[in-house]
Amino acid sequence: MKIFIILFAWLFITVVAVNSGPFFTAPGHSWLLTVAEAADSSFTQADRDRMIRMEVKIEEGLKAVNQRIDDNIKATNQRFDAINQRFDAINQRIDDSLKSINQKFYDNKGLMYVLLSGMFALVGFILWDRRTTLAPVVRTTRELEARVEKAEKLELAIKEKAEKDPELKEALRHAGLL
């Protein structure tokens, strides 16, 4: 250790000498004395044992901290695994519900086809019934129009005849046709 301190002092002196000026000196002390005092300080066996004990304590503390961190990470991972299992269960329930809804829809698909075909049949029946119901009315209306036309022609012919025959004219007046 003394060799290390001496080498460090020599390096420090070299660097300071190159910069040529006092460096890290206390008032009234020369920087060379400070380096020399540091080189003279003795490092005892008790100091070495104390440093070894400190290293052992630090390593034990680090191991304990690492163990606690590992335990906390494991506990957190277990919590996340439990949460993931819950989400998986919820997703499974949702999937089952959707499958059930889809199955019910496909089960009722035939019923929907029956209802749609029934509605089309009803509309077809209404159109057919309307046509068959209106056909006699149209036929009767045409017959009545033809009769009205004949009656108008007959009335016109009678009025022309009434102009020449006074008895007929009097009968038409009496009936309110003139």
Joined together, the tokens standing for residue 102 give 């889809």
Cα–Cα dist 16/36, whole Å: 15
Q: Write out pLDDT tens, residues 77-94.
A: 999 999 999 999 999 999
Cα–Cα dist 117/167, whole Å: 71
Residue 11 has a pLDDT of 61
Cα–Cα dist 34/28, whole Å: 11
Q: Which residue has the higher pLDDT, 132 or 77?
A: 77
Q: Write out pLDDT tens, residues 22-55.
A: 444 555 545 555 555 555 568 899 999 999 999 9
Cα–Cα dist 125/131, whole Å: 10
Query: How would residue 96 be classed by pLDDT, with cut points 50, 70 and 90?
Result: very high
**Sign of the torsion formed by the C-alpha atoms of 164, 165, 168 and 172:** positive
The number of C-alpha atoms within 13 Å of 137 and in the hemisphere containing its C-beta is 6
DSSP per residue over 52-120, as a string? HHHHHHHHHHHHHHHHHHHHHHHHHHHHHHHHHHHHHHHHHHHHHHHHHHHHHHHHTHHHHHHHHHHHH
Cα–Cα dist 37/62, whole Å: 35
